[in-house]
Structure 1
Amino acid sequence: MAQTSLVIIRYGPYESCGVVDHRTFRLEGLQAVLKGCGHSCVLEKTPEWNQVELVVNGECVYECSLRDLEFGGDGQLDPICQEATEAVKNAYQQHQK
């Protein structure tokens, strides 16, 4: 797998303390895990509430609710981050075949 693999993380707004906004606090662990595997991450805002999509080579390879991700942290113990990382890994393996 190339060390410069690009993963686009599309994320929508969510409500916290009565305010709806695009926030990246819940994406920190996901980004850390992906970067730890050698991927480059680009954040892209979308209008879809509570939505996270991981896009690899123009194809959505993983989706989840933003609110399911753990707040902050390094993502090592977050099962959603592990599932997402595996989906990205599988997408690159299939693309190389």
Structure 2
Amino acid sequence: MPRSARVTLCYGPYESNGVVQHRSFRLQGLQAALRARGHQCVMEETREWNMVELVVNGEVVFSCDIKQLQFGGDGQLDPVCKEAVSAVEKAY
């Protein structure tokens, strides 16, 4: 994978405190981990509840439940972030 891939983070709404809406707080660590590796992140809201997908060159290379990601942080200690970054690195 080229060092500076364009990664689209597709994320859906999830419920927190009884309110369902799109929130990017859980994606901060994932974004930081991808940017640290030199990738460009583009955020895109979808209608699928609780879903995160990473798209590289039109292909979904990683997906998970948004609640599996740690809230905030830099993503260095989050095993799901490490798995996602690895999937992006192996995308080609």
- Same fold by TM-score, threshold 0.5 exceeded? yes
- 1:55 maps to amino acid: V
Partner of 2:38: 38
Unaligned runs of 5+ in 2: none
Partner of 2:90: 90
Q: Which has the higher helix share?
A: 1
Unaligned runs of 5+ in 1: none
2:90 is paired with a residue of what secondary structure?
helix
> Aligned residues: percent identity?
61
Matches within 5 A, 1:63-78: 63-78=63-78
TM-score normalised per structure 1: 0.92
CA distances 1:26-46 after superposition (whole Å, capped 9, x unpaired): 000000000000000000000
Q: Please state how far the C-alpha of 1:4 moved relative to its aligned partner.
A: 2.9
Partner of 2:25: 25
CA distances 1:31-69 after superposition (whole Å, capped 9, x unpaired): 000000000000000000000000000000000000000
Partner of 2:4: 4
- 2:9 maps to amino acid: I
d(CA) in 1 for partners of 2:63, 2:87: 10
- 1:16 maps to amino acid: S
TM-score normalised per structure 2: 0.97
Partner of 2:79: 79
Q: Please state how far the C-alpha of 1:5 moved relative to its aligned partner.
A: 1.2
Aligned length: 92
**17-26 vs 3-12, greater mean Cα deviation:** 3-12
Calculate the aligned-residue CA RMSD, in Å. Answer: 0.9
